[in-house]
């Protein structure tokens, strides 16, 4: 998973914006982000996302609590993440899913786009 330099592509714009949002909400953004855009979906994979405190909690047997708090952050950020995708792609998002994994330290944000007139919802 490589960092995407901001090069004006929709992928880079979505990755950069997601990293910035996470930084605002948690005080630290992930160090890696990759956005994949398909005809009906967008997936952002984020790496090295946990704070030092979250890592220590997970190591101390509180992994589920860390996952629960991360899920809470993702639900609170939901509208802003969806807005980034909609604004960047000029497409409506009809579904949003999000999850975290602790080892390795990864997160994923998945957006399902409203189908264009010629494509059915998968």
65 with 84: CB under 8 angstroms?
no
Residue 22 has pLDDT above 90, yes or no: yes
pTM of structure: 0.86
Residue 1, pLDDT above cutoff 50: no
Extract the tokens encoding 43. 């997936």
Spans of all domains in the chain: 10-113
Task: Give the residue-averaged pLDDT of 85-107.
Answer: 97
Three-state SS for 55?
A: helix
pLDDT given for residue 117 in this prediction? 72
CA-to-CA separations, 36 to 14, 29, 59, 88, in angstroms, rounded = 10, 19, 31, 13
pLDDT tops 50 at residue 5: no
State residue 116's pLDDT score: 82
β-partners of residue 42 are: 37, 111
Mean pLDDT of 20-44: 95
Residue 113: what are its φ and ψ, rounded to 5°? Answer: -90, 150
């Amino acid at each position: 998973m490589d960092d995407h330099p901001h090069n004006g592509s929709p992928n880079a714009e979505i990755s950069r914006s997601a990293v910035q949002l996470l930084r605002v909400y948690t005080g630290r953004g992930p160090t890696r982000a990759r956005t994949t855009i398909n005809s009906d979906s967008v997936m952002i994979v984020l790496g090295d996302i946990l704070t030092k405190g979250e890592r220590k909690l997970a190591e101390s047997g509180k992994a589920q609590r860390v996952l629960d708090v991360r899920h809470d952050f993702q639900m609170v950020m939901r509208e802003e993440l969806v807005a980034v995708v909609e604004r960047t792609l000029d497409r409506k998002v009809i579904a949003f899913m999000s999850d975290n994994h602790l080892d390795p330290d990864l997160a994923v944000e998945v957006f399902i786009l409203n189908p264009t007139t010629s494509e059915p919802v998968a």
